[in-house]
Amino acid sequence: MALSSAVFAAIYLAAGVYAETVDQGTLLYTFSSGTDIENAVLRPNGQILMVSLTENVVYNLDPFAATPSPVVVATMPGVDSVQGITSIGDDKYAVTAGIRGDIYINETIFTIDLTQASNNGTATPETILVVPEAENFNGLVSLPTEPNVLLVADSVLGLIWRIDLEAKTAVEAISDDLMALTTDSPTGVDLGIDGLKLYTDKATNQLYVYFTNVSKLLLARVPILNNGSAATGPSEIVANQTGIDNWDDMAIAQNSSLIFGAMNPSYVQMLNITSGDAIIVANMTTTSGPTSVVLADDGIHGYSFTRDGKVYEVTLPDYA
Ligand SMILES: *[C@@H]1O[C@H](CO)[C@@H](O)[C@H](O)[C@H]1NC(C)=O
Ligand SMILES: *[C@@H]1O[C@H](CO)[C@@H](O)[C@H](O)[C@H]1NC(C)=O
Ligand SMILES: *[C@@H]1O[C@H](CO)[C@@H](O)[C@H](O)[C@H]1NC(C)=O
Ligand SMILES: *[C@@H]1O[C@H](CO)[C@@H](O)[C@H](O)[C@H]1NC(C)=O
Ligand SMILES: *[C@@H]1O[C@H](CO)[C@@H](O)[C@H](O)[C@H]1NC(C)=O
Ligand SMILES: *[C@@H]1O[C@H](CO)[C@@H](O)[C@H](O)[C@H]1NC(C)=O
Ligand SMILES: *[C@@H]1O[C@H](CO)[C@@H](O)[C@H](O)[C@H]1NC(C)=O
Ligand SMILES: CC(=O)N[C@H]1CO[C@H](CO)[C@@H](O)[C@@H]1O
């Protein structure tokens, strides 16, 4: 092929044509057991922590090992499903988990501190609080200026919880029609707000929550206070999907203002926040559904996780 990638991108944008050259990802690991990997986070040492909707554990995976193989590093008591994990400090994490169902019960926030792991590498989770009113914890972030404050999407209630790990409180902080689920979605999935990540517009210093809505097939954003306690304006749609393809969760590269979305049925879509352009940058043809993307922080690689238990390394456009 003599065409440059820029020409391919232009063809794709003009005609919706799939560029055969997009990365197909390198399969690092496949779970054999129907494990549904929902969310993941990068550790300071470059390894990955992953959580599964089908188990009550946190797995560690070393992507640089000759044969990467997951190891359980924490087991959450009283739950059967782990929905989210995010960094809250140096190798410390908040984890959301509950008892799985169309409506989850006993939605719980735990913390784990891997600097305090025992000799066998496992850490004992600390239970912070149970939120009986929560119905489906999903996307999870901690605030840049207050890492002990979490924002958690609730896909059934269609809102964002603000959870203070020190005060041990949970408050319904932000809600909007774009977060609500619709029960007549072409996707057939009754989930509203799903993935959620933060982005600061450097020009205005405004903090935004970017979020996906599965049933409404959209990516949207809402400006919020730095302490996460309220929106400062209405939500707006950033991108609509067509057909039944839809975003699950995403990674945002703050430096380059690029979003890398885990997109059903099989690909990673890059959205340029500055231009609004969206292109497909990886297509993992052997999966039945990406759920999340984590950046390797080397400016070029990422990892994509799937609901059929696969972990891929993908090569992305320069996001440094
Ligand atoms: C991804 O690859 C599959 C299998 O080759 C193909 O059918 C599909 O159209 C591709 N998806 C996109 C969005 O290009
Ligand atoms: C939910 O948590 C409550 C309080 O800890 C407990 O009594 C109950 O058994 C839990 N429900 C399930 C289904 O485990
Ligand atoms: C790891 O060590 C902890 C603390 O000593 C212990 O409670 C746990 O059972 C051990 N786990 C395994 C898998 O050996
Ligand atoms: C968040 O900041 C706003 C504006 O400064 C303030 O009014 C509000 O009380 C703060 N919320 C919390 C929970 O501290
Ligand atoms: C998304 O679709 C809605 C209609 O449902 C439309 O009002 C809006 O302009 C679209 N936004 C973008 C960014 O395409
Ligand atoms: C994103 O869009 C901006 C503005 O059009 C452009 O300068 C930049 O190069 C784009 N980034 C990428 C990775 O395409
Ligand atoms: C973002 O930019 C900072 C400052 O230039 C740099 O230290 C950091 O490595 C960059 N992040 C990534 C993911 O490349
Ligand atoms: C804003 C909004 O809800 N836009 C569309 C999202 O998708 C649903 C289902 O296709 C449409 O009904 C909405 O108009």
Query: Which ligand 1 atom sits closest to the C-alpha of 22?
Result: 14
Does ligand 3 come within 6 angstroms of the Cβ of 125?
no
User: What is the C-alpha separation between 49 and 53, in angstroms, rounded?
Assistant: 14
Q: How far is the CA of 112 from the centre of ligand 3 (A)?
A: 15
Does ligand 4 come within 6 angstroms of the Cβ of 256?
no
Query: Which ligand 2 atom sits closest to the C-alpha of 79?
Result: 14
Query: Which ligand 1 atom sits closest to the C-alpha of 18?
Result: 14
Q: For 277-304, what is each residue's pLDDT tens digit?
A: 999 999 998 888 999 999 999 999 999 9
Closest by Cα among 137, 107, 99, 114 to 60: 114
Residue range 207-226: mean pLDDT, rounded: 97
Does ligand 3 come within 6 angstroms of the Cβ of 57?
no
Asked if residue 216 belongs to a domain, the reply is yes
The DSSP code for 239 is E
User: What is the C-alpha separation between 29 and 304, in angstroms, rounded?
Assistant: 11
Q: Is the pLDDT reported for residue 13 higher than 60? A: no
Asked if residue 320 belongs to a domain, the reply is no
User: What is the C-alpha separation between 196 and 176, in angstroms, rounded?
Assistant: 14
Confidence of residue 170 (pLDDT cuts 50, 70, 90): very high
Domain coverage including residue 139: 5-315
Does ligand 3 come within 6 angstroms of the Cβ of 118?
yes
Q: Is the pLDDT reported for residue 2 higher than 50? A: no
pTM for this prediction? 0.91
Q: Which ligand is in closest contact with the Cα of 181?
A: 8
Q: Provide the pairing of β-strand 206-213 with 218-224.
A: antiparallel
Q: Is the pLDDT reported for residue 18 higher than 80? A: no
Closest by Cα among 54, 80, 63, 99 to 307: 54
Alpha-carbon radius of gyration of the chain: 18
Ligand 2 pocket test: which of 105, 106, 130 has the largest number of ligand atoms within 8 Å of its C-beta? 106
Domains of the chain: total: 1
Q: Is the pLDDT reported for residue 10 higher than 60? A: no
Ligand 7 pocket at CB < 6 A: 255, 297, 299, 320
Query: Which ligand 8 atom sits closest to the C-alpha of 184?
Result: 9
Q: What is the reported pLDDT for 3?
A: 30
Q: For 91-126, what is each residue's pLDDT tens digit?
A: 999 999 999 999 999 999 999 999 999 999 999 999
Q: Is the pLDDT reported for residue 152 higher than 50? A: yes
Annotate 21-80 with DSSP letters as a single string. TSB--EEEEE-SS---EEEEEE-TTS-EEEEETTSSEEEEE-TTSSS---EEEEE-TT-S
Asked if residue 131 belongs to a domain, the reply is yes
Asked if residue 128 belongs to a domain, the reply is yes
Instruction: Assign residue 41 the CATH number of its domain.
Output: 2.120.10.30
Residue range 140-148: mean pLDDT, rounded: 97
Residue range 174-202: mean pLDDT, rounded: 95
